[in-house]
Amino acid sequence: MSQRLLTTQRPNIIFIILESFTAKFVGCLGGEPGVTPNLDKIAKEGMLFTHIYASGERSEKGLVALLSGYPTQTTISIIKSPSKTEGLPHLNRILKQQGYHSSYYYGGELAFANIKSYLLNAGYDRLVSKYDFDKKDYIQNGVFMIMCC
């Protein structure tokens, strides 16, 4: 017998990837209260995965691990080879088959580490980078990534 986790047939899905961050400052993960009130609010309203970690010492390796389930390679990142990333499984493709539309928001430059090519191969409907934000709103020392469908 299976147990139903969701209360709606077709939920909005927001997958937030925190880069160079620590759970010590995220309230909903048992960290310092009050530092991440909006993230804590979103976590209460939805489903929070508390034991999901990316493998790899580099952003692009962790990204491929999280979104494609591809294990980290020690000397090279598969994301550097677009012909190889075309064949990887991808969370976005599964959601597209279910009729979802997708956007990927990245607070940095999508050209970094060939991330844009990887995302295009995955079939995202919309890519947004730091260049799509007003300069006054962009924080130079903090990069965040959000994938939502």
Q: Which residue has the tokens 């999901």?
A: 52
Q: What is the share, in percent, of the chain residues with pLDDT greater than 70?
A: 89
User: Rounded to whole angstroms, how far apart are CA atoms 70 and 13?
Assistant: 21
Whether residue 36 has pLDDT greater than 80 = yes
Residues facing residue 106 across a β-bridge: 145
pLDDT tens-digit series, residues 67-112: 999 888 888 889 989 999 999 999 999 999 999 999 999 888 899 8
Torsion of CA 113, 116, 119, 124, to 10 degrees: 160
pLDDT tens-digit series, residues 122-143: 999 999 998 887 776 665 544 4
Rounded to the nearest 5 degrees, what angle is found at the Cα of 46, between the Cα atoms of 45 and 51?
Answer: 130
Q: Which residue has the tokens 């880069």?
A: 19
Longest CA span, the chain:
53
Whether residue 145 has pLDDT greater than 70 = no
Find the mean pLDDT for residues 50-54. Answer: 73
User: Which of 50-64, 108-122, 130-144 has the lowest average pLDDT?
Assistant: 130-144
* Residues with Cβ within 8 Å of residue 77, at least 6 apart in sequence: 56, 58, 60, 61, 64, 113
Q: What is the share, in percent, of the chain residues with pLDDT greater than 90?
A: 38
**pTM for the full model?**
0.80
Q: Contact, 113 vs 80, CB < 8 A?
A: yes
Whether residue 1 has pLDDT greater than 70 = no
Find the mean pLDDT for residues 5-15. Answer: 84
